[in-house]
């Protein structure tokens, strides 16, 4: 590949590291964290004589990637500091096989927003060097979800209404 090639690295953190180690620019999209259509189950039907073999009918990339898993991905994991400039962005994936106009918003939002915050702000807090806090992110993403809903977007909730209405009762230390 020429040095002008931009590589979409959707397989793993290792594929991003290998890509930038070879001097190519990369877009991060690790399927283990950022495939938003995973965990919906199989879309094929099984005859009774083979049904038990495939039970519980998971798809190839189960489990479902919830916003916390999306938020936990560090796009620069394993990338040497002198190569981070080669990671030029990222993308979440949502394939059309399981999406239609009825469920698109629910599947994409606010999980895509969790990835966007990581890409915009970085996965680590610059003050502490630690991964960004889900406890801090949940209110922001909940507010963003409410803005989407107010605009007619069918975004799924970040957490149960009980948790958003009762302070820190749903936080684990």
Q: How far apart are CA 145 and CA 157, in angstroms?
A: 7
DSSP state letter for 134: H
Q: How far apart are CA 31 and CA 71, in angstroms?
A: 13
Residue 10's domain is classified under what CATH number? 3.20.20.80
40-64 mean pLDDT: 92
CA angle 91, 94, 99 (to 5 degrees): 160
- What pLDDT score was predicted for residue 55? 94
Count of domains observed in the chain: 1
35-42 mean pLDDT: 90
Residues 54-72 pLDDT 10s:
999 998 889 999 999 999 9
Is the predicted pLDDT of residue 46 greater than 80, yes or no? yes
Chain center to CA of 153: 19
pTM for the full predicted model: 0.88
- What pLDDT score was predicted for residue 87? 96
- What pLDDT score was predicted for residue 164? 73
Is the predicted pLDDT of residue 4 greater than 80, yes or no? yes
Residue 173 within a domain: no
- What pLDDT score was predicted for residue 9? 93
Is the predicted pLDDT of residue 130 greater than 90, yes or no? no
CB count within 10 Å of CB 16 equals: 27
Residue 1 within a domain: no
Residue 136 within a domain: yes
- What pLDDT score was predicted for residue 132? 83
Paired with 157 in beta bridges are none
Residue 78 within a domain: yes
Alpha helices of 35-133 — where are they, by DSSP H? 48-54, 67-72, 104-108, 111-121
Residues 113-129 pLDDT 10s:
999 999 998 888 888 88
Q: Show the domain range for 123.
A: 6-165
Residue 171 within a domain: no
Is the predicted pLDDT of residue 134 greater than 90, yes or no? no
Using the structure block, give the residue that is written with the tokens 């394993």. Answer: 78
> Residues 6 or more apart from 67 whose CB is under 8 A from it?
110, 111, 114, 141, 158
């Amino acid at each position: 590949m020429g040095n002008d090639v931009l590589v979409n690295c959707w397989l793993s953190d290792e594929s991003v590291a290998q890509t930038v180690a070879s001097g190519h620019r990369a877009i991060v999209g690790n399927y283990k964290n950022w495939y938003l259509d995973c965990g919906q189950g199989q879309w094929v039907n099984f005859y009774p004589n083979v049904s038990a073999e495939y039970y519980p009918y998971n798809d190839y990339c189960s489990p479902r990637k919830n916003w916390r898993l999306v938020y936990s991905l560090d796009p620069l994991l394993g990338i040497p500091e002198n190569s981070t400039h080669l990671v030029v962005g990222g993308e979440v994936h949502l394939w059309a096989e399981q999406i239609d106009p009825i469920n698109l918003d629910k599947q994409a939002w606010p999980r895509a927003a969790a990835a966007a915050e990581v890409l915009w702000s970085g996965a680590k807090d610059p003050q502490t060097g630690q991964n960004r806090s889900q406890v801090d992110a949940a209110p922001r993403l909940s507010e963003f979800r409410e803005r989407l809903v107010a605009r007619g977007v069918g975004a799924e909730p970040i957490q149960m209404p009980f948790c958003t209405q009762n302070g820190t009762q749903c936080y684990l230390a």
